[in-house]
Chain A
Amino acid sequence: SQKIEQNSEALNIQEGKTATLTCNYTNYSPAYLQWYRQDPGRGPVFLLLIRENEKEKRKERLKVTFDTTLKQSLFHITASQPADSATYLCALDTFSGGYNKLIFGAGTRLAVHP
């Protein structure tokens, strides 16, 4: 069955450093991959989408890579700030039967310390 794995342990980093989060998947060949941010008690918020033919995508301090050979996506936050502290979810995107189905990982909690 399809499986998405994200680091279950929290990632603790110092303010100003680069945070790198990993998303690995198996038994699947997604055409797209998405990253979401989720704050405690809130719904996820879309951050970035990357297609299988794109190696890298950037948005302000965020960068996502997508390696379909390794079946892995890396999510980077440069110059991290305490406000970046949240749980980050990756999701594999499929489109079938007229709807957009996302399979989510459990997420990695990021804590940025001043």
Chain B
Amino acid sequence: SQTIHQWPATLVQPVGSPLSLECTVEGTSNPNLYWYRQAAGRGLQLLFYSVGIGQISSEVPQNLSASRPQDRQFILSSKKLLLSDSGFYLCAWSTGQGANEKLFFGSGTQLSVL
């Protein structure tokens, strides 16, 4: 069966520090991968998506970047965190084989930038 791992679960970082969040998927090949951010009381905002290794599309211009060095690995990074980067970050995957497919989410990372 397929599983998605996301870490760390919580992270407290000072403003201006770098960030690296990692997500890996097991049990499937060539998944579509996504990074979402959820602010308190707000809907999920799509940040990045990837349909293959090295293929990254950004939905929102911001202080973050994403990379996909391996088929089932997706990394969210920042060189210098801002206060506004605080939020709940979720990685997700889908099969990428149709328009009615569902997303499978990781357990999320609660990031607090102080």
Contact = CB atoms under 8 A, between A and B. Distances in A.
B103 A89 contact: no
A43 B106 contact: yes
Interface residues of B, number: 27
A1 to B, nearest CB: 13
Q: How large is the interface on A (under 10, 10 to 19, 20 to 34, 35 or more residues)?
A: 20 to 34
B32 A99 contact: yes
Interface of A: 4, 8, 31-32, 34, 41-46, 49, 51, 89, 91, 93-95, 97-107
Given A31-B99, A42-B108, A101-B46, 16 more contacts: A34-B102, A43-B6, A43-B90, A43-B105, A43-B107, A44-B103, A44-B105, A89-B43, A91-B44, A99-B32, A99-B49, A99-B57, A100-B32, A101-B49, A102-B44, A104-B44
